[in-house]
Amino acid sequence: MRDFSNVHILNHPLINHKVAYLRDVNTNTKVFREIITEVTTLMAYESLKDVPTEVVTIQTPFEKVEQRVIKNDSVAIVPILRAGLGMVDGIFQLFPTAKVGHIGLYRNEETLNPVKYYCKLPKNIEDKVVITLDPMLATGGSSSAAITLLKQHNCKKIKLMSIIAAPEGIEKLASNHPDVEIYVSTLDRCLNDVGYILPGLGDAGDRIFGTK
Ligand code: PRP
Ligand code: URA
> Residues 123-137: pLDDT tens digits?
999 999 999 999 999
Give the per-residue pLDDT at 16. 98
Answer whether residue 196 shows pLDDT above 90. yes
Give the per-residue pLDDT at 18. 98
Answer whether residue 58 shows pLDDT above 90. yes
Atom of ligand 2 nearest to the CA of 198: 6
Cα–Cα distance measured from residue 103 to residue 83, given in angstroms and rounded to the nearest whole number: 11
Cα(106) to centroid(ligand 1), Å: 6
pLDDT confidence tier of residue 1, bands split at 50, 70 and 90? confident
Each residue's pLDDT tens digit, 82-102: 999 999 999 999 999 899 999
Residue 135 CB less than 6 A away from ligand 2: no
Averaged confidence pLDDT in the chain: 96
Range with the lowest mean pLDDT among 13-17, 61-65, 69-73?
69-73
Answer whether residue 54 shows pLDDT above 90. yes
Residue 138 CB less than 6 A away from ligand 2: yes
Give CA angle at 15 (163, 39), nearest 5°.
55
Cα–Cα distance measured from residue 45 to residue 146, given in angstroms and rounded to the nearest whole number: 23
Give the per-residue pLDDT at 3. 86
Give the per-residue pLDDT at 87. 98
pLDDT confidence tier of residue 115, bands split at 50, 70 and 90? very high
Cα–Cα distance measured from residue 178 to residue 86, given in angstroms and rounded to the nearest whole number: 26
Answer whether residue 2 shows pLDDT above 90. no
Give the per-residue pLDDT at 65. 98
Cα(84) to centroid(ligand 1), Å: 9
Better pLDDT: 2 or 69: 69
Cα(107) to centroid(ligand 1), Å: 6
